[in-house]
Amino acid sequence: MKITDLRTFTVGVPGADGAPKNNWVFVKVYTDEGVTGLGEGHVASKERATEAAILELGRTLLGQDPARIEGLWQSIYRRPRWRGGPILSSALSAVEIALWDIKGKVLGVPVYQLLGGACRDRIRLYTHIGGEAPAELAEHAAEMVEAGFNGLKLTPAWVDGRGVVAMPPRISFEVERVGAVRDAVGDCVDIMVDAHGRLNLAQAADMGRRLEELDILFFEEPTPPEDVEALEWLGRQTRVPLATGERLFGKWAFADIVNRHLVNYIQPDIVHAGGLLEMKKIAAMAESRFVEVAPHNPQSLVSTMASLHLDACSPACTIQEYVYPGAELQAELFEGGPVVENGYAELPDRPGLGIELNEEAAARYPYQPVDRPDWRWEDGSVAEW
């Protein structure tokens, strides 16, 4: 079997108001025996660059045996000399996931069976809750618990309607919001708080200490990802469990964090960090140091399915991010996908990834440029989104 073609499909995702929200970039890898593989890999507001990076991989892949996944990964990663980063890593991830889809289909088994088989019977999920006022957030949390989830994540409501972030951040108010959720859902639901890297060290330490009494599962990206030493400092200031990793790429970026136990949870993203096998290696590194893995996954059902295959066969992957109910067009875009009941996903049971893209439906949602919000502190300086 030989690879004969690569094609990309960029799908514009509308928000609830119909305005462009983001774009998903998919790749299909074609073979001379008619078997195709589907993958996903995109960087928000840089989708065209990611699409071009995927197509450039054709020079490495065309004519090659799609079964040689590790060898092709090494060629893609190492031959150009310039390595890593969100765009190159996402392009590599998309193609690598598609190659596993092909292999699973050829052998007639779900992908996780090729990576060691199941280590669990089902996969625990957490989902997101929203609402600015504490009562509003608590109401949404109760709804998600009623839907079956026992893991919920929220993002602080830092910004006003003008895109301005208060100086200093409203930490007392944010802790009040988390407290309202805890009161609404009780002690048997895990709560996660995602700071999106918006805090300086003193603010992160202050918020972490205040969150300790609310027994949260983890405090996500309390500081920006560029300096892992900040996590070591923060870990000495607070007992709240820490998490990071969605903006890191490849096993090398996680090695120091895992070996030094700088966080309790790492959060690599399968469509950015290097694909299925690279994520399996990262999860094995974490397992060896008793660090848990909560894979990042705010993308489409292709990303979700790839993540579930990883979770199925990786003991350290203890909880999986899941967008519920997700963009409405997903049912139109895909055939197949996850089976979710009472906050858990069943193990995938179809060959390959277990999901197919409807190309006609994808064509109905063309690419539309979408920029991340330009948030500012009150003095006009740039704030993290």
- Residue bearing tokens 């930490």: 171
- Neighbouring C-beta atoms of residue 157, cutoff 10 Å: 17
- Sequential DSSP letters for 227-256: -THHHHHHHHH--S-EEE-TT--HHHHHHH
In the 8-state DSSP scheme, what is residue 352? B
| Secondary-structure breakdown of the chain: helix, strand, coil percentages, each rounded to the nearest 5 | 40, 20, 40
| Catalytic annotation, residues | 196, 296
* Beta bridge pairs of residue 345: 123, 340
Dist. CA 125–CA 344, nearest whole Å: 5
320-321 vs 344-346, strand pairing mode: unpaired
Alpha-helix residue ranges (DSSP H) falling in 31-133: 47-56, 58-61, 69-78, 86-107, 111-114
151-154 vs 122-128, strand pairing mode: parallel
Q: Are 45 and 371 in contact (CB under 8 A)?
A: yes
3-state secondary structure of 329: coil
